[in-house]
Amino acid sequence: MAVSEEQIAFVTDLFRGLPALTTRKMFGGLGIYSEGTIFAVIGPEDALLLKARGQLAKDLAAEGSEQWAYEGKSGKPSRMPYWTLPDAALDDPEEACIWARRSLAETD
């Protein structure tokens, strides 16, 4: 999977309300940062995933978001602390930034 310039433009526009937004290609995906702190990635299958634990993860699950999981070397599923962004936020930069700010607040 290679991240396209269109995908970078999409996330840059979606999260335009965040300060010092930057992106960095990594491991075939894309890291998305605000003021140097990663809060989201474009991961497998081009999914936009928000970093979340605790209450934020529960709130995302309640919105129908799915946690990033993959099969580890032992054959057991491994879960990452990243969740799909709710569908409604994919078309609404204001809503997307609300979720992103919550993610960033967790990492402080």
Supply the CATH number for residue 49's domain. 3.30.1460.30
Comparing 72 with 30, the larger pLDDT belongs to: 30
Give the domain extent around 92.
5-107
Nearest to 32 by CA among 55, 10, 63: 10
* Residue 19: per-residue pLDDT: 98
Average pLDDT, the chain: 93
Task: Provide the number of structural domains found in the chain.
Answer: 1
Specify burial of residue 49 (Cβ count, 10 A radius: 0-12, 13-18, 19+).
buried
Tell me: the pLDDT tens digits for 36-77? 999 999 988 889 999 999 999 999 999 999 999 888 788 888
Element (H, E) at 104: helix 93-107
- Three-state DSSP at 59 gives helix
